[in-house]
Amino acid sequence: MIPELGQIFLVAALASALLQFVGGISPLMRKIENIEPFIERITMFQTMSLLICFALLTTSFLQDDFSVLYVASNSNTALPIGYKFAAVWGGHEGSLLLWVLILSIWTLLLSKDNALKSSPELRIQSLSILGLISLGFLVFILYTSNPFERLFPIPLQGRGLNPLLQDPALVIHPPTLYAGYVGLAVPFSLAVSSLLTANNFEWAKHARSWTILSWMFLTGGIALGSWWAYYELGWGGWWFWDPVENASLMPWLIATALMHSLIVTEKRGLFNGFSTLLAITAFSLSLLGTFLVRSGVLISVHSFASDPQRGLFILVLLAFFSGSALMIYSLKQKKATQEKLHPLSRESLLLLNNVFLCASAGLVLIGTIYPLILEMLDLGKISVGPPYFNFVILFPFIPLLITIGVAVFSNWSHASKSLVKKIFPIIMIAILLSLLFPFIYGLASLMTMVGVILALWTILTGISPLIRNQFSINKSMVYMPMMLGHIGLGLMILGITVTSSYGITFDDSMGIEQSSNVGDYEFKLTEIGRRNGPNYLAQYASIEISKDGEYIETVYPEKRVYDSSTMGMTEAGIEANLFRDLFIAIGEDIGGGSWSMHLQYKPLLRLIWYGPIVMMMGGLIRVFLSKRSIGSYQ
């Protein structure tokens, strides 16, 4: 009964999405008054329907209703209750339901945005476009990926959730990332609506907070994914340039550019066309990400099923939305008024950095889809390795980081007179501080020093407004979003540079009471044992970590075999503080009483995840603090 009810509400949501879209055509017919309350109600109705769908699917999971194909494929009776909730979005169908649910929540929130009510045409038009996006995806769900589909005969037991996904970080990673992906539909719809209606830069004012919000979710989602991959996949890396990771990085880069471009569009009325294009690109890349991840063209943890029909459908949606948006842009965009920009004005520097961000996204895009295109054309199978990405990303990023610091000190429309005098001391401090690193960690290559100096430069210039205001938090509050954003980025770059340059990683064989040295640290295997988890059997090792004979901590890396599958899972043993991570993962029994072990020492690794947290705090302050104090940001 429950699945049929879910089916009905899914269709109800589809109908309301259709009405939401059709109702939005009315601003074009200048009949705005009657339609506004109607659209508001229909938006609410759609969100409610999808929430009920989601709740019903969750109920099926909690009841272990294996007559539902999706439940049978992604859960079983032994699954801990918390993971039964997470299993709702643990597979293809459920995660798409989550996708449209989040889209409808964003739409509902946009319809509640009071500031937007002052531009009713823009408002109704963008709600209509969001309705159309929702419609597309609901058709997709009902047509190819229905989560409520029944299974007959009813199996006694389900297949269980992929053990890799049975982890707390993985419970929140997909919703967070989705919120970011889907949130980019909001600036997209505002940009396209603006082209269709007033066609001025009014939309930028409204789009900014929404862009920042989705950017925050994207930042958090990516950082969570990276953290999870680090401790769960067993080889202790934090970024693999996997196409799926790239699929999330590209919209993030463009959203970052959009966020900054919108400042200029809002404050100065410039770069309207550029901001519009960025908004369209950001959402298109979100859709491309959805396509890459969900179509099965990639083989990874994230691709659940490879059904060519599904891939094709998403591709059609992608082509339709980006294609028509770009078409509207080319037809409607007015020619920008020629304005002479001083090359060192804030506008120019922001533009420059946005170009660097776009270039980064472009380079990542080439490396990600080139192999796919080649394969599609039957020209052979290739993969583009991490060395390509690690190398080419430096070209846009080094000038980007240099410019960030300069932009902080720049003024709108003209060059700051004492620019050199202001930045010179900071460069000097950054260089002096960077000299500490070879002392602490040992000799470094030139590239390492460049990375450290640029990271410190970004952090110091980020802090500078606070120093200029005599450390008064109140006075520097208006700069806080920018400060935290830049400091977070600097911390992350510092973490990446130091970890990559000074980290130690190797495999070793260890017997009982034998030890292995990783840098200054000694790892000693004292015991190998077995223990029972709720739905798995684990082989654990106890490892004593010490430094210069001084005991630090005992960690227990595990090798788990889940009941529902035969595959082993690695749980690493990690001893971490702000300054370094010590990592050990069990390989396998290699005979002779020895085990293979994967060992790591990673200095400043945590900054790679703390940095994004700081960045997100910046965004949070910008979105939620009183508009009055932030509004005066110059």
Partner 1 sequence: MLPRHRRFIGILVTLIGVTVAISLILSSFQDNLLYYVTPSEAIENIDDDQSKFRIGGLVEVGSFERSEGSLKSRFILTDGFESIEVNYTGILPDLFREGQGIIVTGRFDKMKIFVASEVLAKHDENYMPPDIHPIEESSS
User: Which residues in this chain contact partner 1 in the complex, by CB under 8 A?
Assistant: 162, 164, 234-235, 299-301, 363, 366-367, 370, 380-385, 387-388, 391-392, 395, 507-509, 511, 559, 565-570, 585, 587-588, 590-594, 596-598
Least CB distance from residue 297 to partner 1, whole Å? 11
Between the CA of residue 367 and those of 222, 254, 345, 355, 392, what are the distances in Å? 19, 17, 34, 18, 10
- For partner 1, the closer of residues 162 and 214 by Cβ is 162
Q: Which two tokens stand for residue 105?
A: 């929540």
- For partner 1, the closer of residues 247 and 585 by Cβ is 585
- For partner 1, the closer of residues 113 and 588 by Cβ is 588
Least CB distance from residue 74 to partner 1, whole Å? 13
Least CB distance from residue 398 to partner 1, whole Å? 11
- For partner 1, the closer of residues 213 and 572 by Cβ is 572
- For partner 1, the closer of residues 227 and 633 by Cβ is 227
Least CB distance from residue 338 to partner 1, whole Å? 16
- For partner 1, the closer of residues 50 and 518 by Cβ is 518
- For partner 1, the closer of residues 528 and 625 by Cβ is 528
- For partner 1, the closer of residues 2 and 384 by Cβ is 384
Least CB distance from residue 559 to partner 1, whole Å? 8
- For partner 1, the closer of residues 134 and 162 by Cβ is 162
> In the block, which residue shows the tokens 């991490």?
386
Least CB distance from residue 375 to partner 1, whole Å? 9
- For partner 1, the closer of residues 113 and 507 by Cβ is 507
Q: Which two tokens stand for residue 106?
A: 């964003």
Of 619, 393, 366, 360, residue with least CA distance to 496: 393
Number of other CB atoms surrounding residue 342 within 10 Å:
16
Of 105, 67, 65, 62, residue with least CA distance to 84: 62
Between the CA of residue 514 and those of 75, 255, 530, 591, 594, what are the distances in Å? 41, 50, 19, 15, 9
Least CB distance from residue 179 to partner 1, whole Å? 25
Strand (E) or helix (H) holding 543: strand 536-547
Q: Which two tokens stand for residue 109?
A: 């929130």
**DSSP result, 95-157:** HHHHHHHHHHHHHHHHHT-TGGGGSHHHHHHHHHHHHHHHHHHHHHHHHH--TT-B-SSPPSS
Least CB distance from residue 163 to partner 1, whole Å? 9
Least CB distance from residue 489 to partner 1, whole Å? 22
Least CB distance from residue 586 to partner 1, whole Å? 9
Beta bridge partners of 522: 517, 546
Of 584, 526, 586, residue with least CA distance to 560: 586
HSE (side-chain half, CA atoms, 13 Å) at 219: 25
Of 253, 255, 245, 61, residue with least CA distance to 158: 61
- For partner 1, the closer of residues 587 and 618 by Cβ is 587
**Angle, helix 185-196 to helix 92-111, in steps of 10 degrees:** 50
Of 285, 269, 287, 280, residue with least CA distance to 329: 280
Least CB distance from residue 570 to partner 1, whole Å? 6
DSSP label of 541: E
604 phi and psi angles, rounded to 5 deg: 55, 20
CB 86 within 8 A of CB 131: no
Q: Which two tokens stand for residue 409?
A: 């000190």
Q: Residues 182, 187, 190, 191: is their CA dihedral positive or negative?
A: negative
Of 493, 488, 490, 624, residue with least CA distance to 212: 624
Amino acid at 75: S
Least CB distance from residue 395 to partner 1, whole Å? 5
> In the block, which residue shows the tokens 């501080």?
433
CB 185 within 8 A of CB 106: yes
- For partner 1, the closer of residues 4 and 588 by Cβ is 588
- For partner 1, the closer of residues 367 and 603 by Cβ is 367
CA 211 to chain centroid: 13
Sheet hosting strand 573-576, strand order edge to edge: 504-511, 594-603, 580-589, 573-576
Least CB distance from residue 594 to partner 1, whole Å? 4
